[in-house]
Amino acid sequence: MGRLADRRVVLGVAGGIAAYKAVEVCRRLVDAGAHVTPVLTAAATRFVGPLTFSALASEDAHVALFDGPDAIPHTRLGQQADVIVVAPATARVIAAYVAGLSDDLLTATLLATRAPVIICPAMHTEMWEHPAVQDNLSVLRRRGVHIVEPEAGRLAGGDVGMGRLADADRIIAAVERALTAPDLGGLRVLVTAGGTREPIDPVRFIGNRSSGKQGHAVAEEAAHRGAKVVLVTTTDRATTAGVDVIRVDTAAEMADAVFARSEEADVVVMAAAVADFKPSTTRDRKIKKSDGIPEVVLEPTVDILAELGRRKRAGQVIVGFAAETHDVRANARRKLEDKRVDLVVANDVAEPGAGFEHDTNRVLLIGRDGTDVDVPMSDKREVARAILDVVAPRKGMA
């Protein structure tokens, strides 16, 4: 039996057409040896009968906060759960969870738990893309909730588009992952994030479009898995408790912050988009239009990643990023050698939905030890997980 054996899983089912697929998820969890408690919202019972779940699961399906013999079912369920998975999660359940509303058994149970929570959204494309839903999901990600992204395909009413509940395999894999003990406990991880800004004068700078999302996701995931994390970032993006944040602007400031801490780090992840060039002089007064068109002379910045490669001590793992528009694998391999790093996370920034500013990314993980992993288009937190999955067992790769 695998990781699910004898684990207590609360399976939340919200009211959407995909509720029928939760029956399959329930059966698979039970087959894997888990003790499954189904919790259906009132709307879910309009799509699929509680009896179906009761027949398959380890105990009867729960549908109401007040109707059963148990006076406080939500605290019992929340406290005893090893993991809670909500499949499908509707826009309403997601919003209620974000807001801390507990007006039914499922949302009350979500608030009454300290167990890991997995949310598997399913809804029509228009609803999925609505900023209200996307903003709510961002909040949940920041709180460490696992989101299993929906897929594109046939939806209710014959429509086709994004929003179909993730495949049962992906949901089960997410549950197994959430039940894994913190595998980075005690590890010291240094992460950089965001784009540096190289000042021309007090108001102008040379910058880039990096949002810092991927670096922040790596830092948050590492902290979630028990690592001691320092995040050197150029952004004001909020992060989870447990991540030690150092805010910088320029490549030089980032270099100072990184080199001051890299010696003691077991793993360094250079997710930041560091400027390759900076103005050779920075004016201390604003350049006026009336002075004519200024000439901005550039000079190289310090290549932090390459310097980390040179300073690398035995057992340290250095991860670099590569933003490429073509020949992604070949360029990643070259960077691996040139900068003497252990792993290159290469993304094709020309691909729609990947790279800068997006919430999703599609990357190739190319390692010195022969690692070659294609991470399909996923949430940046999911990409962070894939990176750390490669790094964790290789802690100590030469």
Active site residues: 208
CB 276 to ligand CTP: min, Å: 5
Residues in the chain: 398
Distance CA 254, CA 249 (A): 7
Please give the residue ranges that form the binding site for ligand CTP (CB under 6 A).
251, 270, 272, 274, 276, 301, 303-305, 320-323
Query: Which CB sits closer to ligand CTP, 279 or 320?
Result: 320
The DSSP H or E segment spanning 322 is strand 317-324
Query: Which CB sits closer to ligand CTP, 253 or 303?
Result: 303
CB 297 to ligand CTP: min, Å: 18
Residue indicated by tokens 């961002």: 138
Report residue 256 CA to chain centroid gap: 27
CB 248 to ligand CTP: min, Å: 13
Query: Which CB sits closer to ligand CTP, 45 or 192?
Result: 192
Q: What is the DSSP letter of 122?
A: -
Distance CA 396, CA 267 (A): 10
Q: What b-and-e string marks burial along 99-108, b requiring 16 or more CB atoms within 10 Å of the CB?
A: eeebebbbbb
CB 269 to ligand CTP: min, Å: 8
Provide the CB-side half-sphere exposure for 135 (13 A, CA): 5
Residue indicated by tokens 């604003």: 286
Query: Which CB sits closer to ligand CTP, 155 or 308?
Result: 308
Show Cβ contacts of residue 333 under 8 Å, excluding neighbours closer than 6 positions. Answer: 344, 366
Task: Assign 218 to helix, strand or coil.
Answer: helix
CB 289 to ligand CTP: min, Å: 31
| DSSP bridge partners of 344 | 320, 366
Query: Which CB sits closer to ligand CTP, 47 or 277?
Result: 277
